[in-house]
Structure 1
Amino acid sequence: MTITYFLDYLNLEKKYSKHTIIAYKNDLNSFQEFCNEEYQNQEISSVNYSQIRRWIVSLVELGISNRTINRKVSSLKSFYKFLQKTNQIQANPLINHQPLKVAKTVQVPFSEKEILEILKTNDEDDFESVRNKLIVELFYATGIRRSELINIKITDINFDNETVKVLGKRNKERYIPLLKIVQNNIQKYLNYRLKINTKEPYLFVTLKGKKVYDTLVYRIINNYFSKVSTKVKKSPHIIRHTFATHLLNEGADLNAVKELLGHSSLASTQIYTHSSLGKLKEIYNQAHPRSQKN
């Protein structure tokens, strides 16, 4: 019954989706079934950490991924927090539990060929086509985040200094250089934008004159790259990843890339060096005296 009370509490909180509550229910029932088999129907509200640890080991032995196991344990931890809050237990047995390590998934950047294939396509000469192509180009030319692109104002473009000002995380401003070809395409887009009835200060707007939004930008990127790439993920973030990878492949300084991306620490930027490892191996094999050159 304790699990039922917990699920009722989640429903009353109205902060959790139906899908999330079902996941909680399945995770808790799964552990209760384990307790029924291993500990003679012991209630999960009265188990200790070593018993929970045995459940985790059994999940590993079943070949369940560490990510899924961590989610199940997180459900259990939330359950114990509820029991503590309602004075049904004194201490949370999972208070000192460390999640299992989850391997970071390697995000595969787009190739230069894929990017150039999109940028060279001849689209219709209308407002939406010009805007959409510019969105792709600006992502690749600057490495900015989706939220940063959406919030660029016309006044953030400085043609004299050839830069764009973006507002990053924690309201941190940074200035990113603009290639001449990108400046020309911004000017072309602005000429089309003049015909749109809008008072929005933002650079990118819809045909109805409203500020562009997250799903629209994602859809634009996905539609373009679906034509040239078979990669599973086709998103603005992958273009950001591509921007950093291509710069590093061409010998750009890691600290410079860090500044362009708006990262607060070098550790955040270093994840992109993994994608450049293939290029590094190629240079190494060509340059090292002991390499087996053909």
Structure 2
Amino acid sequence: MESAPTLPTVRVAAVQAMPVVLDLEASLEKSLGLLAEAAGQGAQLVVFPETFLSLYPSYAWAHLPGGDGDALWERLWASSVEAPGPVVDRIAAACREHDVVCAMGVNERELERPGSLYNTLLLVGPDGLLSKHRKLMPTYHERLFHGLGTGDDLQVTETRLGRLGGLICWENRMPLARWAVYQGGPQIWLAPTADDSDGWQATIRHIAIESGAFVVSVPQYIQRAGFGDDFPWPLPDSEVFGRGGAAVVAPASGEVIAGPLYDAEGIVVADCDLRQTLHAKRWFDAAGHYSRADVLWPRSSP
């Protein structure tokens, strides 16, 4: 008789940090050091912010006029990542060394077709690239920098740590995108973001309840001081462009069990007992007994 799958307790780490702006090598080295630090705290899954390699085009500055768009684009391209590629190989080597799985936000480029960049979430394990997801719908100013994802990567990845799924930043507000991922029965939901608002905290708590999964939310803490004098775009007077708010949220209750961390770089760690995801879906399974897809999807136009 086939035995039921085990439901482990997984220690997750949300790494809230700022990259070395537009410097891929330095940002990668920083991320690998932080990965090792998180592993030293017992983390098995280490999650980094949206486009941590190597810059998030924040509305705090990207909407301002007067910048050198060509210079910024060229440097953004140069500090972006191919997936698969050598950067992914180095992350995988670190995952092997520390026996972890890593979720990393990157600006992704296609070396064989220099052109558009994509806001991409990579999932990397000791054996290499497990999955990648390109953001479906760049938000507002992001459309000047990122192409649109195709949606064929809205899925859950089965790992030794459980079923990992999720979306990037405001994709998490898209009901049908969430629904697509819910079909895979996620147990841990990855939510890298640039949103430091109270509304975002409400969003991730709702998703934990709706998905029946633990949510790992990871924004950047973005300081003006981290931008060099040669940055080719004007910057506002504010000293902080993103306060952070890294947090881990439990399923069913939507309780914040670690964080939120504001106004500093740091690592938020929590133990996630995946049995709780099974219990949560007993009460409310959005893609199962509570879906009613038979009457709600698809709906014909009136």
* Greater percentage in helix: 1
The TM-score normalised by the length of structure 1 is 0.22
The TM-score normalised by the length of structure 2 is 0.22
**Bigger Rg, structure 1 or 2:** 1
Q: Which has the higher contact order (CA 8 A, sep 6+)?
A: 2
